[in-house]
Amino acid sequence: MWLSSEKHSSGSAWAEGVRYDARAAAARANGGHGHLESWFLKANDPRGHRAVWLKWTIWAGVRAPASAVAEAWAVAFGTARGGHVATKTTVPFEAARFSREGIDATIDGCTLTRESARGRVESGGRTIAYDLRIEPIGAPLVHYPARWMYERSLPKQKLLSPVPDARVTGSVEVDGERWQLDAWPGMIGHNWGTQHTESYAWAHCNTWDDGDDVVLEGFSGRARMGGVLMPTATMISVVHHGTVYRLTDLRSVTRNQGSISPRRWRFRARSRRIDVAGELWADTEDFVGLFYPNPDDTICHCLNSKLAHAEVTLRIEGRPPRTLRSQRAALEIGTLDPNHGVRMYV
């Protein structure tokens, strides 16, 4: 994965100047490496213990890349009945639609654009339906045009955030339980590659107890190269009052620190202008386990929470230190070890 950003960008919110063809990317799986890709939307209730996470994916296996599939996922965290609801639907790749420009995907009637998300996902006797309007806030945490991200094989999984901060309004219905969303803080992310990082933690938070002027996104991962599991690499981006601080270049990665456990991610990253350190964690019952198959048929277990705790201390040049806390952060932990103790849903 790769997390990248840009300072004071006023560029388009998706990919101005870059024509990204998801169908062509999936077709390249015929080269024998397979292909994974996803766009996802998450939104948190700013006043309660609820969140919704929606995902549109492409999966093409190594053995039969011509039989690629597209999947629509939906997870509701913190229903009134207690617990979470997770659903997924799968269709042949050719039955889905992906735009060659911008965020525009349709899978089994479920649609995502930069401005809206609509659909209904049913599986296992559970149903999640949604009709949402998305209002992007500020500039994207991307450095388009970043053509090398699409053309080069490394890293094996890449991450960009076309809409790192948004407000989401509309309705979600979970097994007959109706949620009204009124400007819930949210984001849209995008990742793709030839396999899931073997061990990783990804986090995002734009819903803090004492303000909404900070967006944090970060990643730690251990990739395998030439059969050798590499040391943990950590990348952090922070938006503070509209200024983006990127700690993702090679120099930053060599000094950033990160550690991953099945329930917690700790990190520290610093430059001349900013020092950011903290941790995110969630209780076992606040995770939803998801099976993420790789194109080679190995299985990554994604331990997914949108109700994680966060405590982050920012030290920015010219400003007093500030500690931010949240109980509404996104935390995803990926592992190949099935003995993690989290219930697997879909």
**Tens-place pLDDT, residues 6-18:** 332 222 223 333 3
Q: Which two tokens stand for residue 55?
A: 């995902």
| 235 DSSP β-pair partners | 219
What would the mean pLDDT of 270-278 be, rounded to a whole number?
A: 96
pLDDT value for 230:
78
Q: 275 is written with which tokens?
A: 């020092």
pLDDT for residue 147:
45
Check if the beta carbon of residue 157 is closer than 8 Å to that of residue 4. Answer: no
Please tell me the total count of domains within the chain: 1
4 domain residue, yes or no: no
Percent of the chain with pLDDT over 90: 67
**Mean pLDDT of the chain, nearest integer:** 86
Residue 17 domain-assigned?
no
Q: In what order do the strands lie in the sheet with 177-193?
A: 85-92, 69-77, 51-60, 35-44, 177-193, 157-174, 126-136, 116-123, 110-113, 104-107, 97-98
Q: Kindly give the pairing relationship between strand 116-123 and strand 264-270.
A: unpaired
Residue 343, in any domain of the structure: no
Q: Is there a domain that residue 1 lies in? A: no
pLDDT at 1 (0 to 100): 27
Task: State the pLDDT at residue 329.
Answer: 98
Q: Which amino acid is at 262?
A: P
pLDDT tier at 4, thresholds 50, 70, 90: very low
Whether 305 maps to a domain, the answer reads yes
Q: What would the mean pLDDT of 42-64 be, rounded to a whole number?
A: 94
Cis peptide bond N-terminal to 155, omega within 30: yes
DSSP string across 106-137: EETTEEEESSEEEEEEEETTEEEEEEEEEEE-
Find the domain containing 47 and state its range: 22-335
pLDDT at residue 282 in the model: 98
Q: Of 102, 126, 128, which is closest to residue 116 (Cα–Cα)? A: 102
Average pLDDT value for residue range 72-96: 94
pLDDT of residue 30: 45
The whole-number pLDDT of residue 139 equals 63
In a domain, residue 6? The reply is: no
Closest CA to 45 of 81, 86, 80, 89: 80
- For residues 29 and 22, give the distance between their C-alpha atoms in angstroms, rounded to a whole number: 11
pLDDT, tens only, 147-160: 444 555 555 667 77
pLDDT of 2 > 50? The answer is no
- Residue 345 is assigned to a structural domain of this protein: no
Which of 1, 7, 6 minimizes the C-alpha distance to 143?
A: 6
Mean pLDDT over 261-276 rounds to: 96
Q: What is the pLDDT at residue 237?
A: 93
CATH, residue 84: 2.40.370.10
Q: What pLDDT sits at residue 112? A: 97
pTM of the model: 0.89
Q: Does residue 249 surpass a pLDDT of 90?
A: no
CA atoms within 13 A on the CB side of 240: 21
CA dist., res. 44 & res. 126, Å (int): 21
Contact 171, 181 (CB under 8 A): yes
Q: Is the pLDDT of residue 216 over 70?
A: yes
- pLDDT number for residue 33: 72
248 occurs within a structural domain: yes
Asked which of 134-143, 151-160, 164-173 is least confident by mean pLDDT, the reply is 151-160
Residue 25, pLDDT score: 55
Helix, strand, or coil (residue 69)? strand
* pLDDT given at position 90: 98
Q: Rounded mean pLDDT of 60-76?
A: 90
CA 333, CA 201: separation in Å to the nearest integer? Answer: 4
Q: How far apart are CA 259 and CA 201, in angstroms?
A: 9
Range 274-289 average pLDDT: 98
CA 113 to chain centre: 16
